[in-house]
Amino acid sequence: MDTVVSGIRPTGNLHLGNYFGALRNFIKMQNENNCYFFIADYHSLTTHPTPADLHGNVKSVLVDYLAAGLDPEKATLYLQSDLPETAELYLFLNMNAYLGELERVTSFKDKARSQPDNINAGLLTYPTLMAADIIIHRAQKVPVGKDQEQHLEMTRTFANRFNRLYHTEYFPEPVAYNFGEQLVKIPGLDGSTKMGKSEGEGNAIFLIDEPAVIRKKVMKAVTDSGPTEPNQPKPQAIENIFNLMKALSKPETLSFFEEEYNQCRIRYGDMKKQLAEDIIIFTDPLREKIREISADEKYLHRVVRLGKEKAHESASKTINEVREIIGFKAF
């Protein structure tokens, strides 16, 4: 059984992009692997040192995870800040992480550009913390998207370097966990290729959105005046609507609108109405569960405590062994 680790930053409620991109696969993975899924609340401080509602955002992600079907008995669900061993390993890894290599990381350069008044050391060492998250459980696999590949490469570098410096083979080199064709990229409603929270109001549909909100957002999705000739390639915004339908509607619904498009008969209003209803059918039971779990403070408390215990069991073993490998000894 492989050990799998993945983290998500606590950005608040999850949207369909999160669901189809990662969550759905996590739910499958938890049956076949030793999974650690955590909420990266330490990491959020690299961009938001004084977060407005850290606890609320952590809770939203946790509740959405549980509602979607992550099972705290099967997988280990925990908060990064409940595992100080991660911070200690981060400290050790930072001793062997070099300014040059950290400065070259794309995400650092992007963030340095977008927050020039807050280019802090945490931002620079984001990849070291992420490496610590992963190797604290000595994971072999990390289910991440394209945007995290460079961070995973850094993780391998740090794990390798540790092994080399301390003459050990203690840490495995974690690889990306690819789900192949199952990876569905959910586009945004604003014509952009990615559904995301930061892309602006109306671009994303959240798992908790009420039917009326979903209808409104979908009806506002960017379209055009339609094809003028049969069998034309689709402009991006139109392709997006079709891709959403592919993920959420029945195959026959999709092929009906494909045909309408190819015959230049398509009425985007009708298509969007149908898409909105199919999204609602999908999110209805989730929204119901989110509401229930969110109100159940006792259950959430139990879930978080169990996750902390299970994560601590794995992490404390690692950190003790790491201390010994480096040369710390008890008196």
250 catalytic? Reply is: no
From 3, 9, 75, 237, residue interacting with ligand TRP (rule: CB under 6 A): 9
Residue 227 token pair: 């094809």
Helix, strand or coil for residue 304? helix
Pick the closer one to ligand TRP by CB: 5 or 311: 5
Sign of the dihedral through C-alpha 192, 196, 202, 207: positive
Q: Taking contact as CB under 6 A, which single stretch among the options 5-13, 27-35, 226-234, 251-259 is the one that binds ligand TRP?
A: 5-13
| Rounded least distance, CB 142 to ligand TRP, Å | 5
Report the candidate in 148, 111, 116 with the shortest Cα–Cα distance to residue 8.
148
From 134, 159, 266, 304, residue interacting with ligand TRP (rule: CB under 6 A): 134
Which of 185, 197, 234, 273 is an active site residue? Answer: 197
Q: How far apart are CA 20 and CA 185, in angstroms?
A: 7
Question: Which ranges of the chain would DSSP assign to H, the alpha helix?
Answer: 16-18, 24-32, 41-44, 54-68, 84-95, 99-103, 106-114, 121-124, 126-135, 149-165, 211-219, 236-248, 251-262, 268-295, 297-326
For the chain, what's the residue count? 331
Helix, strand or coil for residue 178? coil
246 catalytic? Reply is: no
Q: Is 180 left (phi over 0), alpha (psi -120 to 50) or beta?
A: left
Sign of the dihedral through C-alpha 76, 81, 82, 86: positive
197 catalytic? Reply is: yes
Provide the residue type at 135 as one letter.
I
| Rounded least distance, CB 211 to ligand TRP, Å | 30
Select the residue whose beta carbon is closest to ligand TRP and give its number. 7
Q: Taking contact as CB under 6 A, which single stretch among the options 6-14, 215-223, 237-245, 287-295 is the one that binds ligand TRP?
A: 6-14
From 4, 7, 136, 314, residue interacting with ligand TRP (rule: CB under 6 A): 7
Q: Taking contact as CB under 6 A, which single stretch among the options 48-56, 128-136, 292-300, 316-324 is the one that binds ligand TRP?
A: 128-136
- Of 210-229, binders to ligand TRP (CB under 6 A) are none
Contact letters (x/-) for ligand TRP, 135-174, by CB under 6 A?
-------x-x---x--x-----------------------
Q: Taking contact as CB under 6 A, which single stretch among the options 85-93, 129-137, 233-241, 250-258 is the one that binds ligand TRP?
A: 129-137
Q: How far apart are CA 191 and CA 137, in angstroms?
A: 40
Catalytic (active-site) positions: 111, 194, 197
Binding site for ligand TRP (CB under 6 A): 5-7, 9, 40, 43, 130, 133-134, 142, 144, 148, 151
